[in-house]
Every structure is written in C-alpha cells, then in structure tokens.
Structure 1
Amino acid sequence: MSTGSQAGYGAAVVPLLVLAAAVLHAVWNALAHRIEDKLVGFVLIDLGYLCCAAVLVCFTPLPDAAAWPFIGTSCLLQIVYQVLLLQSYRLGDFGQMYPIARGTSPLLVALASTTVLGQSLPLGGALGLIAVCSGLAGLAFADGLPGRAQLPALAAAVGTGVMIASYTVVDGTGVRRSGTVLGYIAWSFLCQGPALPLAAWRLRGGRALLGALRPAYRTGLAGGALSMLAYGLVVWAQDRGNLAAIAALRETSIVFAALIGALVFRERLGYRRMAASAAVLLGIGVLELAHL
C-alpha cells in the first residue's frame, strides 16, 4: 500500500474509531450510573481498567522520557475528573449531568488547540464546532434551566467538563512525544487506577468496602474495561488527528447517552432532544468536511 493510500486510510479510520469510543463511553457511564452506590461503581470501574492496564504494560514498551510529565499531569487531572463526575451523578440526573459534563469540553479544547498548540481551525471547522456545541447545550437544557437547588450539581458537571478539556489537551500532546501509543495508554491507566480505590478503602474500611463491591462487581469491572478501551481509542486518534475535531466527535457520546437514557432508564427524549441531536450530527458532518 502506498504512503498516500495509508494516509487516506488512516484519515478515514480515525473518525470511525472516535465514534466507536463515544458509544463505549456512553455505555460505561450508563453502567456506572446504574450502580446505586456511586462510589462503589467508580471503584469497580477503576479496578477494571487497572487490571487491564497491568496486563497491557507487560506487552508494550515504556513511553519516552519526554512523555512522563504529561502522563503524570494527566493522571492528576483524571483523578479530579472522576471525583467531580461521581459528585455530579450523586447530585443530579444522568440525562442532564452527562451532557453538561461532556458538552463543556469541545469549545475549551478548540480554544486551547488553536491558541496554545497552534493547530489551525478553518472557518468550516469553527462553524461545525459551534453547531456541535449548540446541539450539546440543547441536549443539556432541553427541560429548562436548572434551579438554585441544582447549582451544586451543575458546578460539579461543569468542573468535570473543564477536567475533560484539560486532560484531552495534555494527552493529545503527550502521546505524540511518547513513541508508543499503547504504552502511553497502559501506563496512564495504571498510574491513575489505584487512587480512588485506596481513598474508598480508607473512607469506608476494607471489610465494608469489599462487601459493597461484591453485588455489583460484574457490572463495574465491565464498565472499567469499556472505559479503558474507549479512551484508548481516543488517545490513538489524538496521535493522528486534529484535537478540536476529535474532541467534538467524541462528545457525540451525549447523543448515544440520550438514547440509552430513553431506552434503558425510561427518561423522556422529546422533540427538543431529537432536534439537538440532529444539530450535533450536522456539526459532525461539517467538521469532517472541513478537515478532509
């Protein structure tokens, strides 16, 4: 296969894998939400991808030295992200908190990738990004603006979005300096995985935590494996594509989450959510045409 053909093949594969990651991300978040004890759910998810990462590091090379500061920074950001996401799910509804958390990041990533990293965003890409973010906002606020009682949940969800944008930019830069995409993914998950389980062990006590983990361990561990696979696909794409476009594509998980909410959790979809989903899909098409 010629170099040009390989480049064209890679350009076609990247959006498909990011969309697959979006589906997987919506599914693992739904699994986490389904576990009544949210701390237990997130501990199991961390243990799931910690086990996967421990196996993967045995078969992948170490990342280059230049990548380790990015891995360390990403781990800290991911830990804060998990705490904020856990809190937003405790305080708010899945159908509202998930889109707010995910929808905050594309604009922030686009701003950072153009102003800090110097990546170009053509006019068509900017219009597509606006359409995607408008659709995400429509999904988030389809049932009206949140009241005062919902402000703590909203703050946690917005903070989650800021963390998503932050670690997206960090990983998008770090993976390009690592020399090994799989090694970067494996060591990132291995380093961040123990933090929440250890904190929960100290908070709940070992025996009580183990007792709480047992009823939901299959769901939680499956969610962890899906979480690692979903973000692994995104990091692989970041090594090959435009950060702003990938961030926007990735947030289509909100559309899939809305469908899961309607079909599994019996949440109302309605015409407003359907129109917002259409805006997201239109924005994706514009973004992809702009980066061909």
Structure 2
Amino acid sequence: MTPLVTAAVLLAAVTHAGWNAIAHRIGDKLVGFALICGGGLLIGLATTPFVAFPAGPAWPLLLASAAVHIVYYLLLMTSFRLADFGQAYPLARGSAPLVVTVLAAVFAHEVPGAWVSAGIAVSCLGLTGVSLWGLRGTRPNRAAVGAALATGLAIAAYTVVDGLGVRAAHSPLGYIAWLMVVQGSAVPMLLYARERGATVRVLRPYAGLGLLGAALSFSAYALVLWAQTRAALAPIAALRESSIIVGAAIGALLFKERFGAPRIAAAALLVLGIGLMLSAG
C-alpha cells in the first residue's frame, strides 16, 4: 500500500463515518436512507456521461453488488434503530475485515502475510470487542448485536464483489456511478410504498442533510474502489475501518454518547493493527 493509497483510504474512512452519522441523525431511518440512496442515484446519473462505461465482465459483479448493497442498507437501518451509533457502527465495520480476508483469499487469491494478518486481527479484535460491551458498561441488546454482525457480513460480501468488479470494469468512476444508478431506487421505492402521497412532505425537512450524506457516500466509496485497483482487498478493508474511531468521536460530540476508556483502547489497538499492516508493505 503506497502512501497515496493509504491517504485515499483514510480520507474515505472520514467521509464514510460522516454519511453514516447523517443517516443516524435523521430520526426516521427509512427517510434518511431514502435520501442518501436517492441522492446517490442522482449523482450517479450526473456522472455517467463523463466516465467510461464499465467493461462487460464487470456487469454480473456490479449487479450482484447492487443486490448486496440493498440488503446492507436494510440491515444498517435496523442496526441504527436498535443501538447507539457508537455501538452499531464499530461492530458492523469492525467485524467485516476478518471476513474480507477469508473471502479475498478464496475468490481473489490474495493470501495476506503474517504481519498483515496480525494487523487485521488486532484491529478487529479491539474494535469489535469493545463495541460488544457497548458504551454504558452493560451487556448489549442481542438483536442489535445480531443486526450489526449481519451488516458486517454484508459489508464483507460487497467489498470483495466490488473489489473484483472494479478491476474488471477498468474504470473505478464508471463502476461506482453505475452502481449508484442500479441500486439507488430501491430504498426510495420502499419509502414511497409506505408514505404514498406524503413522500415529498416527509423528505423535505431533511433534503439538504440527506443530499450531503449522498455526496459523502459517493466520494467515500469511489476512493475505496480506486484503492482496490491499486492494493490487496483485505488490508484496504481493515484500514478503512479507521472510520470507527471517527464514528466514535462523532457519537460523543453529536449524539452525547460516552467515549471513555473503551474507545481509547480501541483507538490504540487500531493504530497498532494499522502499523502492523503498513510495516509489512
């Protein structure tokens, strides 16, 4: 992983935590995700005339990714309803890199070395373990933990599918633009099915915030997809989860969730894990 790739993934981590915080801040999760997905659709449509069309071999992977992303959004909405942002976000993100490591080895033939494997394991152990015990020193809601872990599995699945797809597409921006177009209407359609004639009324108060979230989401994933054409999938997935620390800080500042010693320990383990991964490169 070159310094440029590392910087791109770290920037993606910050923007990713930002759009997730926006989605959590909007009380009606379906409204928030409809705005973010619908905004992504609009950004994708505006981008497609200016980028290369994804190559043919990428399309089965792109379509599969769109389906997984829709499931991911539904699971993430459930996680945000059931748990604090500072618990649901790190558990979902922290559990994904371990699964990505296994899937990348099987499907992309990318077997990490000992130091990279150790870095991934250390990062995931600290971040997932501390989120399992929540922010209030009590055992977490089992349904919330289950939803967050299922979200992590969905993240791992689309990470590997998109890693293979963007390499086959020969155009990271073309791939992300068309991915947003293909998947972008599903959640807005769910909101329309629920609200019917009141859809515009419920969207209007949050339109600006939701479109900002869409722009952050598009930017974050475009950076990650570009990075996946330059480096192995597993260390990118683990490095991207530095967004967990950003998410914990956002939870403390915006949602008044405790930061405390557990989050400091998670930050220390994350830095150690990233150091192990980058030292191997």
Asked whether the two chains share a fold, i.e. TM above 0.5, the reply is yes
Q: Give the drift of 1:220.
A: 0.7
Match of 2:274 in 1: 284
Out of 256, 260, 264, the position equivalent to 1:266 is 256
Aligned length: 279
Paired letter, 2:86: G
Kept in 2: contact 1:107–1:129 (CA 8 A): yes
Paired letter, 2:173: L
Moved more, 80-89 or 137-146: 137-146
Kept in 1: contact 2:132–2:145 (CA 8 A): no
Match of 2:145 in 1: 154
Paired letter, 1:122: G
Instruction: Measure the CA separation in 2 of the matches of 1:141 and 1:269.
Output: 14
SS of 1:104's equivalent?
Answer: helix
Paired letter, 1:27: G
| TM-score, normalised relative to structure 1 | 0.93
Out of 234, 239, 252, the position equivalent to 2:242 is 252
Kept in 2: contact 1:237–1:246 (CA 8 A): yes
Instruction: Measure the CA separation in 1 of the matches of 2:170 and 2:105.
Output: 24
Match of 2:101 in 1: 110
Instruction: Measure the CA separation in 1 of the matches of 2:102 and 2:12.
Output: 23
Kept in 2: contact 1:262–1:268 (CA 8 A): yes
| TM-score, normalised relative to structure 2 | 0.96
Match of 1:3 in 2: none
Structure 2's unaligned 5+ residue stretches are none
Paired letter, 1:139: V
C-alpha RMSD of the superposition: 1.3
Paired letter, 1:224: A
Q: Give the drift of 1:145.
A: 6.1
Paired letter, 1:270: G
Instruction: Measure the CA separation in 1 of the matches of 2:114 and 2:138.
Output: 30
* Aligned pairs for 1:1-292 within 5 A: 11-143=2-134, 144=137, 146-147=139-140, 150-205=141-196, 207-290=197-280, 292=281
SS of 1:129's equivalent?
Answer: helix
Task: Work out the percentage of aligned pairs sharing the same amino acid.
Answer: 46
Paired letter, 1:43: A
Task: Note the alpha carbon deviations across 1:40-87, whole angstroms, 9 max, x for none.
Answer: 000111121111111110111211110000000000000000001001
Q: Give the drift of 1:146.
A: 3.4
Kept in 2: contact 1:139–1:277 (CA 8 A): no
Kept in 2: contact 1:142–1:273 (CA 8 A): no
Instruction: Measure the CA separation in 2 of the matches of 1:114 and 1:133.
Output: 18
Kept in 2: contact 1:138–1:272 (CA 8 A): no
Instruction: Measure the CA separation in 2 of the matches of 1:177 and 1:93.
Output: 38
Structure 1's unaligned 5+ residue stretches are 1-9
